[in-house]
């Protein structure tokens, strides 16, 4: 496999879908919100994304069956718009990889006639917020007014949006696909279900849906445990060639 590949596991007709992206990022805010949405809406997996830029590992599941590290697309029907929800174990880390993976996601979105991209993430401030704000960034000026009315805060976030949450908007804009990034205010140093809840509430208002948020804390704990496990093994992966001497720097084979 030489490039990022999306494999459809179900061919579903979708009604002007909205892409909701919640890959791992700051405070796992977007991931927790999107995973929760999938569960509460009973969304169905429709596609899997594999990438040579993801870790070269397979995950051992409790039942003895392995699975690839991957991203997944889930589908949930809606009134005006269906939802296409993107979640996953990891996101690519280098620029080249992010540009490639984002391009493939947008190809799939265009095929499915996605009408709007909403990316979810955390906005790290180094402080513990009492009531987390939800900051917004959009592709085009008129969208600012459109989403202000849902309580999205514009003009207060500074700097850059890193990774998929930003790249989907940026590369989407080049393809003339409108996008909105919702960022939950968060400390940045820990997994933050409260920030995820704030993002989810604004998102639900925008989508005109209701979702129970009681299980968010439990989900946050699971996400944190998984993220730590991935990281630990990723470090172990460095010693794959000559693992009997794990302290040696093996970067030379690259």
Per CB under 8 A, which region of 23-31, 33-41, 109-117, 206-214 contacts a second copy? 23-31
Is 188 a residue that touches a second copy (CB under 8 A)?
yes
CB of 121 to a second copy, least distance (A): 10
Cα separation, 19 vs 44, in Å, equals 14
Subset of 25-54 contacting a second copy (CB under 8 A): 25-28, 50, 52-54
Q: Least distance (Å) from a second copy to the CB of residue 20?
A: 18
Minimum CB distance to a second copy smaller for 33 or for 41: 33
Q: Which of 65, 131, 176, 214 binds a second copy (CB under 8 A)?
A: 65
Residue 57 found at the interface with a second copy (CB under 8 A): yes
Residue 36 tokens read as 């929760």
> Residues near 193 by Cβ (< 8 Å), separated by ≥ 6?
32, 216, 217, 219, 220
Q: Single out the residue of 6, 34, 37, 122 in contact with a second copy (rule: CB under 8 A).
A: 122
129 within 8 A of 184, measured Cβ to Cβ: no
Q: CA torsion, points 154, 127, 193, 43, in degrees to nearest 10?
A: 30
Cα distance from N-terminal residue to C-terminal residue, the chain: 18
| β-sheet bridge partners, residue 72 | 48, 87
* Closest to 21 (Cα-Cα) out of 146, 142, 177, 189: 177
Residue of 6, 14, 114, 167 that binds a second copy (CB under 8 A): 167
Q: Which of 18, 34, 47, 161 binds a second copy (CB under 8 A)?
A: 161
| Of positions 9, 15, 60, 113, contacts a second copy by CB under 8 A | 60
Q: Rounded to the nearest 5 degrees, what angle is found at the Cα of 211, between the Cα atoms of 48 and 31?
A: 40
Contact status: 181 vs a second copy (CB under 8 A): yes
> DSSP 3-state assignment of 47?
strand
> By C-beta, is 17 or 178 nearer to a second copy?
178
132 lies in the site for a second copy, by CB under 8 A: no
Q: Which of 108, 114, 90 is nearest to 180 (CA)?
A: 114
Residue 174 interacts with a second copy (CB under 8 A): yes or no: yes
195 binds a second copy (CB under 8 A): no
């Amino acid at each position: 496999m030489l490039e990022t590949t999306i494999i459809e596991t179900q061919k579903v007709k979708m009604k002007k879908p909205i892409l909701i992206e919640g890959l791992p990022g700051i405070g796992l805010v977007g991931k927790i919100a999107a995973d929760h949405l999938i569960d509460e809406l009973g969304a169905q997996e429709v596609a899997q994304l594999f990438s040579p830029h993801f870790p070269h590992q397979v995950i051992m599941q409790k039942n003895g069956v392995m699975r690839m590290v991957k991203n997944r697309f889930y589908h949930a029907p809606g009134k005006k718009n269906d939802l296409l929800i993107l979640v996953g174990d990891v996101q690519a880390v280098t620029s080249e990889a992010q540009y490639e993976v984002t391009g493939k996601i947008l190809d799939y979105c265009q095929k499915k006639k996605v009408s709007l991209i909403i990316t979810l993430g955390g906005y790290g401030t180094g402080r513990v917020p009492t009531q987390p704000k939800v900051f917004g960034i959009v592709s085009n000026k008129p969208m600012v007014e459109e989403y202000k009315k849902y309580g999205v805060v514009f003009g207060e976030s500074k700097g850059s949006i890193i990774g998929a949450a930003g790249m989907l908007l940026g590369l989407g804009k080049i393809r003339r696909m409108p996008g909105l990034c919702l960022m939950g205010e968060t400390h940045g140093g820990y997994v933050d279900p409260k920030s995820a809840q704030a993002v989810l509430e604004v998102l639900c208002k925008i989508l005109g849906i209701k979702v129970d948020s009681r299980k968010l804390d439990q989900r946050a704990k699971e996400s944190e445990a998984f993220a730590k496990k991935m990281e630990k093994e990723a470090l172990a992966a460095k010693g794959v060639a000559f693992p009997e001497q794990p302290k040696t720097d093996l970067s030379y084979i690259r």
